[in-house]
Amino acid sequence: MTVVHLTSDTVSLVLDARGGGLPVVVHWGAPLGDLSEDDLLVLADTAVPPQANSTPDAPVPVSLLPEAVRGYQGRPGLRGHRAGTAWVTSFRVADLRVTDTSVLVVAEDPHAMLHLELTVELTRSGVLRLRSRLVNDGTDPYTLDGLEAALPVPAQATELLDLTGHWARERHPQRRRFDLGTWSRESRRGRTGHDATLALLAGTAGFGFRHGEVWGLHVAWSGNHVTHAERMPESPAVLGGGELLAPGEVILAPGEEYTSPWLYAAYSGRGVDGLSAAFHTYLRSRPRHPATPRPVVLNTWEAVYFDHDLGRLRDLADVAARIGVERFVLDDGWFRHRRDDTAGLGDWYVDETVWPSGLTPLIEHVTGLGMEFGIWVEPEMINEDSDLFREHPDWVLAPGDGTLPPRARNQQVLNLNVPEAYTYVLSRLDELLRDNDIAFVKWDHNRDLVAAGHRGRSGVHGQTVAIYRLLDELRARHPGVEIESCSSGGARVDLEILARTDRVWTSDSNDALERQTIQRWTALLLPPELTGAHVGPPTVHSSGRTQHTSFRYATALFGHFGLEWDIASASESEVAAMAAGIAYYREHRALLHTGEVVRADHPDPSVYVHGVVAPDRSAALFAHVQLTTSANAVPTAMRPPGLDPDRRYRVRVVEPAGPPMTVGSSGPDWSPRVLTGRALAEVGLRPPLLAPEQAWLVELTAEPSA
């Protein structure tokens, strides 16, 4: 056995595999450079802690799967039993396969009769991925209660940050001290959840977007899951996570196996932005990452709701095409019995009473205007008022005692653990995509899974695996169709669903003020091109706020841009503003969707400053956003981060969808001028005195070298 070093330009992971047990993490953090084998041995020996009083006589190792049998008093990485026996494990490494970028640990526990394969991969972006495969080598069943990898973080990580929220207010940050004890974020919603944390972060005191050391984990799983931070008096602090299993949900028969979700981990020595950069770079390197320019979307939901009228939708499509929309998406209401949200889910046939000639007339009109056609589905759900439920009332995820779970949005969850239900949904969606010219599917999931049982046991794990299998099969049959993960807004946002979809619907809220924070923190994990961001109507249906066109536009600009608005009834000036704004988005989306997302640590809590900087630092686009009224009478300078300090940038204020509303003096004359990146970062630009809920956009272009 040996000491293993996986390293990149931004991170190092050192594992000590000499003891025969599961590898111990010596270091996860700043890159250590080139280290010889002797250097690694010395480092591993140096990292062994002294023995604390009233603890085991030998130092307690903290492995990638911490084990109680080694003396670890925290949360064990593997929890399970055989009818009460084999409740602790003592794995011994049988094989260690090491490459420059990965480690495969093969371990056995002859007493517990378990076989373990633990994979650690270091991606080119510096993101680590960990996953475990557990096999029951015994002759009787093994009940698995949890299989969660963990990574230690150093003592200087004294603060925790994670995200929480609810419908129309997803992904808001919360901070706390990383004190002794366990901070556990558990989700039993059967989906990622509106309140889920995209990542659990530990960092140095006061870490921000642009400063401090930060360590972060993300559990890539769309069902029940847990992420935890734990600090014990006698052990290193750890971050860990995995699938959250219900009692008896996974019982491995002899020879059966369980594979945990991927646990993603990243380190940054330059604040939260560095962590985001690692995740964004990783996602952009995937073979299936969207490669074509992200088309301008118009979704019909807030334009027509359930009022599906061919003439009205054609008129909407005409205006959309005229102003530059590239993808027209027909939302809920096209299938049988679906005149409101109380009926029809499961009856995935075009409603002949609304569409007597099928969807073809609308699709041909839309595609004839040069736009793609998209459609909304919610295949994992069922209304009790539907032909499908009346025929198969047993096709519902339910406790198994003859009762149904409480309804949510008038619907139940279709049990895809039932092979016939799975086959039915697959065949209906396959036929829909085969018989219609559909380029995009908005795939919704509008409720939590409550008392979601299958054959008397929890069915959430099986449902999650089934939906992955369903998406994989549809993608194989229809490889050109793009899919959006929507879940009553942003309640299913994780890297495993994104391995099968092309973007997420970030939130059901199109309120630009709410969206500023939602999008800011969704970008913790996801780059802008994966996050749907639409301009809604002037008065927001989810909050009742009325907002200026320019603010709604400037908010949606920094995502996968679209509209959710009855633009056919909008004023001429509003339509003209959207046409100009769409033209600007289409001109700059290459920058917006390949550049590095940067967020300033602004001293004024009423202001956000964020932007996107080209990979070669040749161009950038920034927004100074006035969220609310400031305590300052004069605005603080906007200091755009991430620029090349030695290059000279031409600064130009842009107003693609109209000027922001100002109060009092508008500030200096903002005709184009040239400043160095260093001057911009250190001195900054003076924005005008903006009214609340306004944004000031600044475009920066590097001057040619002399």
Tell me the C-alpha distance between 319 and 46, whole Å. Answer: 69
Which two tokens mark 116?
Answer: 């373990």
Which two tokens mark 361?
Answer: 């007339």
Q: Which residue, among 109, 151, 112, has the nearest Cα to 15 in the 3D structure?
A: 151
660 CB-near residues (< 8 Å, 6+ apart): 548, 550, 551, 554, 688, 690, 691, 694, 695, 696
**Contact of 496 with 220, CB cutoff 8 Å:** yes
Give residue 43's pLDDT: 95
Other C-beta atoms closer than 10 Å to the C-beta of 288 total: 12
Q: What is the three-class DSSP state of 702?
A: strand
Residue 331 lies in a domain: no
Residue 149 lies in a domain: yes
Q: Which of 284, 312, 329 is the last residue of a domain?
A: 284
Tell me the C-alpha distance between 310 and 316, whole Å. Answer: 10
Q: Which residues are catalytic?
A: 444, 508
Q: How many domains does the chain have?
A: 2
Residue 385 lies in a domain: no
Give residue 667's pLDDT: 66
**Contact of 661 with 691, CB cutoff 8 Å:** yes
Q: Which of 284, 305, 322 is the last residue of a domain?
A: 284
Which two tokens mark 22?
Answer: 């599961």
Tell me the C-alpha distance between 533 and 556, whole Å. Answer: 5
Residue 630 lies in a domain: yes
Instruction: Give the burial class of 83: count Cβ atoms within 10 A of its Cβ; 0-12 exposed, 13-18 middle, 19 or more buried.
Output: exposed
Structure confidence by residue, pLDDT tens digits, 448-474: 999 999 999 999 999 999 999 999 999
423: alpha, beta or left? (left if phi > 0; alpha if psi -120 to 50): alpha
Tell me the C-alpha distance between 64 and 148, whole Å. Answer: 9
Residue 623 lies in a domain: yes
**Contact of 182 with 235, CB cutoff 8 Å:** no
283 CB-near residues (< 8 Å, 6+ apart): 289, 495, 498, 526, 527, 530
**Contact of 649 with 659, CB cutoff 8 Å:** no
Could you give the count of Cα atoms lying within 13 Å of 285 in the half-sphere of its Cβ?
A: 11
| CATH number of domain containing 220 | 2.70.98.60
Q: Which of 244, 269, 284 is the last residue of a domain?
A: 284
Residue 430 lies in a domain: no
Instruction: Give the burial class of 447: count Cβ atoms within 10 A of its Cβ; 0-12 exposed, 13-18 middle, 19 or more buried.
Output: buried
Structure confidence by residue, pLDDT tens digits, 570-597: 999 999 999 999 999 999 999 999 999 9
Give residue 666's pLDDT: 60
| CATH number of domain containing 626 | 2.60.40.1180
Q: Which residue, among 82, 91, 79, 88, has the nearest Cα to 24 in the 3D structure?
A: 91
Tell me the C-alpha distance between 335 and 378, whole Å. Answer: 11
Residue 474 lies in a domain: no
Residues (pLDDT < 70) of the chain are 1, 665-667, 706
Give residue 664's pLDDT: 80
Give residue 234's pLDDT: 87
DSSP state of 65: S
Dihedral of CA atoms 231, 237, 243, 247 in degrees, nearest 10, equals -30
Residue 232, domain extent: 3-48+60-284
H-helix or E-strand containing 672? none
- For the chain, how far is it from start to end, CA to CA, in angstroms? 56
Facing residues of 202 across strands? 160, 215
